Amino acid sequence: MRLKSIFTNSFGILLSRVTGLIRDVLMASTLGASIYTDMFFIAFKFPNLFRRIFAEGAFTQAFMPSFVASKNKGVFATAIFLRFMLFISIISLIVTLTPESITKLLAWGWSRELILETAPLTAVTFWYLDLIFIVTFLATLLQYREHFATTALSTALLNISMIGAMLIFFNSNPKTVVYALSFAVLIGGILQVLAHIFAIRKFKLHRLLIGGWRYRNSRDIKDEERKFSRLFLPSVWGNSAPQISSFLDTFLASFLVAGSISYLFYANRVFQLPLALIAIATSTALFPSISKALNRGDRKEAYQNLKKAFWLLAFLLGASLLGGVILAEPIVWLLFERGEFTRVETLETVKVLQMYMVGLMPYGFAKLFSMFLYASNRHLKAAKIATTALVVNMLFSLILMQYMGAMGLALAGSIGGITLFILTVREVGTDIFFNILRSKYTIYFSIFLVTFGYLLYYIANSYITLN
């Protein structure tokens, strides 16, 4: 297990979140909460959604095991790239020619005039999906060489591009600003592509792609392509489940008291930070080495890497869980309580955050163990597990929201995470999980939780005394 790769990913995610926060603050200062921000968010919703579901997760999880096992890596990589690039380009061209229809799907209740005004922005921003697919494809090749720095650090380029656009057009009229933001999205995507092309040349991986193009008609890779196709669709569904859950939570919260959607949004922003910095960064860094070990038939090395990653996550996520529950009020106060965000809203968001944090460790461990499923080509099983967890989440959401409001929706999400963890561990092997627990680190972890929890409790009491 390479700690350098994990911390590189974590730093890249942190940089992206910080620049994203600066971007949001500037956008609020430039446009406020107006119809123009709504126009931009609607225009960017489709490419951003597809980026999360399709490019950043599903493609890599299906491509990496197939690429590792391929005997004609260059031909296979080139064939898959051309197929996807053609498909995405055709979709983008259709959106460009009929942007009003796509915009209408996202903003059903808007007037025709507003849809026509937003449609050009949709046509522009949708091409970001083409660019981010290129980035994801090149990033997967770099991951195979266990190089993560370029991808991790380049994620902030989109935010930096948008920040630059708002600084340049800060005093312009709102319509000009949203157009500048839309084109800045494309500029950010182009910068990400260029950064990855430079890294590809540095690692001489361009030779693999050139060779794949040259011999694409003379090498038979039909079996490898069929294998990839079998893995890809289940991977898409598995990665869609969290996005569907988030969408349904927002929908259900619209039936609760005013402010419930905001409580969920702000609390989830805090919850996602340790999940991304720790669990996602670790899983991303570990995925190539696990895939290679399993392809070699070296399950011992794969399980050894899994064990090391498990205990790293246990200590870091355990600390985050305690901090998120015990220090929820100071955290929300520091981040959000200003202007129109009152003390009452802080306290309501704190309750929701604490319910979300219950699921932090289960979600983090589920991400780690599901990575093992994807590396061993069990994509369909991972998708079925994600579906079961989603159904459990929705059932508890419908029940708990009646008694606990937004807190109930957050707690239902945590219950879904616990379900996801249990089912994933059972599929990977409960004996493997219990072998990991039969370690001296279990004792160290227990002592750490008690000590760290007491320290945080003391800090929280000091905050209460001061306030």
What pLDDT, on the 0 to 100 scale, is given for residue 410? 93
CA Rg, the chain, in Å? Answer: 23
In what helix (H) or strand (E) does residue 297 lie, and over which residues does it extend? none
Spatial CB neighbours of 200, under 8 Å, sequence gap ≥ 6: 138, 141, 142, 206, 209
Helix (H, G, I), strand (E, B) or coil at 155: coil
Residue 272 DSSP SS3: helix
CA distance 374 to 234: 10
Rounding to the nearest 10 degrees, give the CA dihedral for residues 433, 434, 435, 441: 100
What's the CA angle centered on 185, arms 61 and 118, to 5 degrees?
110
Contact 67, 144 (CB under 8 A): yes
φ and ψ of 280, to 5 deg: -70, -40
Are 264 and 401 a contacting pair, CB within 8 Å? no
Q: Using CA atoms, how far apart are residues 126 and 43, in angstroms rounded to an integer?
A: 8
Q: Residue 305 burial (CB < 10 Å; 0-12/13-18/19+)?
A: middle
CA 37 to CA 25: how far, in whole Å?
13
Q: pTM for this one? A: 0.76
* Predicted local distance difference test score (pLDDT) of residue 114: 83
Confirm if 215 and 226 have CB atoms less than 8 A apart: no
What is the pLDDT at residue 447?
92
Residues of the chain with pLDDT below 70 are: 1-3, 28-29, 32-34, 52-57, 106-109, 211-212, 214-222, 258, 338-341, 463-467
Handedness of CA 321, 327, 329, 332 (dihedral sign): negative
Q: Please report the pLDDT score of residue 50 as a whole number.
A: 72
Both tokens assigned to 449: 């939780």
Q: How many residues does the chain have?
A: 467
Q: Look at the block and give the residue holding tokens 């967890």.
A: 389
Distance, CA of 82 to CA of 91 (rounded, Å): 14
Q: What does the alpha-carbon distance between residue 211 and residue 319 come to, in Å, rounded to a whole number?
A: 48
DSSP secondary structure code for residue 53 in this structure = I
pLDDT at 464: 63
Q: Are 10 and 318 in contact (CB under 8 A)?
A: no
pLDDT at 409: 93
Return all residues near 106 (Cβ < 8 A) that are at least 6 apart. Answer: 42, 45, 46
Are 272 and 357 in contact by the 8 Å Cβ rule? The answer is no
The pLDDT assigned to 109 comes to: 66
Report in angstroms the alpha-carbon separations of 409 from 332, 355, 364. 19, 9, 19
Q: Which pLDDT does position 214 carry in this prediction?
A: 66
Is-contact 396 411, C-beta < 8 A?
Answer: yes
Q: What is the pLDDT of residue 28?
A: 66
- Smallest CA-to-CA distance from 388 within 440, 426, 342 is with 426
> Which stretches of 182-308 are assigned E, i.e. beta strand?
none
